[in-house]
Each structure stands twice: as structure tokens, then as C-alpha cells.
Amino acid sequence: MSMTNRRSFLKQSLAAAAAAAVPAAFAQGSPRTLRIGNQKGYLNLLKGRGTLEKRLAPLNVTVSWTEFSTGPVQLEALNVGSIDFGDVGEAPPIFAQAAGAPLAYVAATVTRPQSEAVLVPPNSPIRTVADLKGKRIALNKGSNVHYFLVKLLRQHGLQYADVNLVFLAPADARAAFERASIDAWVIWDPFFAAAEKSLGARVIADASGVVGNRAYYFSSQTYAAKNADVIRIVIEELGKVDDWGRQNKDQLASELAQLWGLPKPVVDVVVARQQFGTQPITRAILAEQQQIADTFLELGLIPKHVDVLKAAPPNLA
């Protein structure tokens, strides 16, 4: 081999060796993290399957999970930069935006109006929404059912001031309902189904034809803009869990019953009336949220006007 060929061969060998020595992480891109804040629900089911970690591994994305008891606590974690993704109901994002959280809606469920309702004891004389006038009604302040009740009353010719609200968390409201110290309770599943099955609670009205009652998946504006590929994969994997649940309702109820610590017959009721489907955020969906924000401002629940479009995802059409 000539000196020239030997030098050429050496260069090629060194180049090949250098390429082989490049860490896999560099070849896949810089290491990234996805910190998920989850409540006991679909995100928990996704966590248990491990499919998200498998899909994100080629992108060199590490996933961590932190469980929260409520949506508002999740959103506070987002506000202080502790998580990148989570799930929440309709109302908490309104308060989060009012507090200046860098929220970005990234996906929504389909509407689930049958999953929240106004309940009364089985022997109650209350039969219609009109009968609620002057009655003591318990609900969780600033929640999705708070908005639902306002809209329901207006739809039936009643004003917000026509009822006496008692602001109680679900566990306390159930206790008050059992003691008959309240006349009605506005609540969501699975508390709704549990009250029906174990207390014989009677439904005066659910949210059908009144409000949508969606759930939302959220991120921060910065994370969503810089990690659109990661967000897309998370939503796809959640969609797969949702599709599986639609086709395997009995098994879904079994898994949720274990997560929630509830009897399976209660969760069977929850799953039977649940609507399935995950969809992108649209201007029409954000307009629904704007109505909630405007109502909460009118009621004095938030201190200032909230422009929901400022929490639109970076790719909103």
C-alpha cells in the first residue's frame, strides 16, 4: 500500500471509529424530559401500560410521573414549572389563566354532559329544576358543576340568587347529603354514580343540553412550542387508551374501580354513560371555555377578564 493510500485508509478508519463512538443520545437529539402530572384516570392507565415511554425512547425523552389529587393543584405545579403536561376539567384552567399561569390547551375530550347532575335524596319533594328555588344546594365552588348550575337555573327562568349555595368539597357534600342538611347536590362522576348506587340519589337534571362538560389536556406555552413532537405522541397514546376503553368497557371499569377504590358496580355506571374520544383544540372549543370565563367574572369568582385564546396551543388553526 502506498503512503498516499495508507493515509487515506487511516483517515477513513479514524472517521469510522469516531462515528461509532458518538453516543446514541447525540444521534437521537439532545436529552429531553416530559414531566407528567396525573390524576387518577386515563393518564394513570397510560402510565401502567408503559407504551408512552417506549414511543418516546427513540427521541431520547425521559418520562416522569407525579400524582395529584385535583386539577387546581396540577395547574399550580405547571405555574411554578414543576410539570409539563396534565389533565384537568373545564373550570381550573380559567382560574389558572387568571393567576397568570403559562397554560396551553393541547387536546380535549368529547363532551360528557351525562357525567354531572343535580341530585336530591330519594324521598325529596323536589321534582323539577323550578323546585330548586330557595333550596340549599351544595357544590364545589368554582368547579365545572358551578358553571353547570348557573346555566341550568337560567335555562329554567331562575336567577343565581334564587338558590342558597353551600360550597363544599365532594366528600363533605356527600356527608351533608346523607344528613339531609342540604336539599340538593350538584356533582360529577364517580361521586355522582356512587350517590346513585349507595344512597339512592335521584337525578333532577344532568348537563345534557345545558353545558358540554369536557376534560382537557394541557401543557405550558413554552414546552408545547418546543416539544410539539412529544405532545403529539402523548395525545396519540391517550387516544389509543380511549379507543381501548370504548371497546373494553368491562375491563376499563375494573381498572378504574381499582384506581378509585370504588365498587365495580359503581364504576360500571360511570363507564356506561361516559362518552369516548379525544380531539384537537379548536376555536369553537375555546369559545366554550370563554363562556365559562365570562360567567365566572360575572359571578366575581375571578378578579379580571380572561382571554382564553391566549392559552391556545401554538398550532391552533
Distances, alpha carbon 167 to alpha carbons 115, 170, 224, in Å: 20, 10, 35
Mean confidence (pLDDT) of the chain: 90
- Do 189 and 202 reside in the same domain of the chain? yes
Residue 14 confidence class, pLDDT cut points 50, 70, 90: very low
Rounded to 10 deg, the angle between the 42-49 and 249-260 helix axes is 100
The percentage of the chain sitting over the pLDDT mark of 70, rounded to a whole number, equals 91
- Do 218 and 288 reside in the same domain of the chain? yes
Whose CA is closest to 296, among 90, 3, 39, 132? 90
Question: Are 85 and 218 within 8 A, CB to CB?
Answer: yes
CA 62 to chain centre: 22
Any idea which residue has 408503559 for its cell? Answer: 50
Is residue 18 included in any domain, yes or no? no
Give the CA count within 13 Å in the CB-facing half-sphere of 23: 6
Strand-pair category, 184-188 with 116-120: antiparallel
Is residue 14 included in any domain, yes or no? no
Strand-pair category, 278-279 with 116-120: unpaired
For 114-126, what is the mean pLDDT? 97
Cell (9 digits) for 22: 458518538
Residue 248 pLDDT exceeds 90: yes
For 285-289, what is the mean pLDDT? 96
Residue 244 confidence class, pLDDT cut points 50, 70, 90: very high
Residue 24 pLDDT exceeds 60: no
pLDDT of amino acid 28: 54
Question: Are 299 and 150 within 8 A, CB to CB?
Answer: yes
pLDDT of amino acid 315: 81
Residue 13 pLDDT exceeds 60: no
Phi, psi values for residue 235, rounded to 5°: -65, -40
Amino acid at 128: T
Any idea which residue has 399561569 for its cell? Answer: 101
- Do 158 and 247 reside in the same domain of the chain? no
Range of the domain at 154: 113-206
3-state secondary structure of 185: strand
Separation CA 192–CA 196 (nearest Å): 6
Is residue 147 included in any domain, yes or no? yes
pLDDT of amino acid 41: 85
Q: For the ranges 15-24, 120-129, 152-161, 241-250, which has the lowest average pLDDT? A: 15-24
**The domain that contains 266 carries what CATH number?**
3.40.190.10
Residue 123 pLDDT exceeds 50: yes
- Do 43 and 170 reside in the same domain of the chain? no
pLDDT of amino acid 177: 97
Predicted TM-score of the model (pTM): 0.85
**Alpha-carbon torsion 58, 59, 60, 64, what sign?**
negative
- Do 273 and 260 reside in the same domain of the chain? yes
- Do 120 and 202 reside in the same domain of the chain? yes
Residue 218 pLDDT exceeds 80: yes
Structural domain count, the chain:
2
Is residue 316 included in any domain, yes or no? no
- Do 83 and 120 reside in the same domain of the chain? no
Q: For the ranges 10-19, 113-122, 198-207, which has the lowest average pLDDT? A: 10-19
- Do 272 and 128 reside in the same domain of the chain? no
Helix boundaries (H) for the chain: 3-21, 24-28, 42-49, 51-56, 71-79, 92-98, 144-155, 170-179, 191-199, 221-226, 228-247, 249-260, 264-273, 283-298
Per-residue pLDDT of 57-79, as tens digits, reads 999 999 999 998 778 888 899 99
Residue 317 confidence class, pLDDT cut points 50, 70, 90: low
**Alpha-carbon torsion 42, 44, 47, 49, what sign?**
negative
Rounded to 10 deg, the angle between the 264-273 and 191-199 helix axes is 120
Which of residues 150, 176, 206 is at a domain's end? 206
Which of residues 154, 175, 206 is at a domain's end? 206
Question: Are 35 and 83 within 8 A, CB to CB?
Answer: yes
- Do 270 and 219 reside in the same domain of the chain? yes
Residue 165 confidence class, pLDDT cut points 50, 70, 90: very high
Which of residues 206, 232, 252 is at a domain's end? 206
Residue 4 confidence class, pLDDT cut points 50, 70, 90: very low
For 177-183, what is the mean pLDDT? 96
For 100-120, what is the mean pLDDT? 96
For 265-285, what is the mean pLDDT? 95
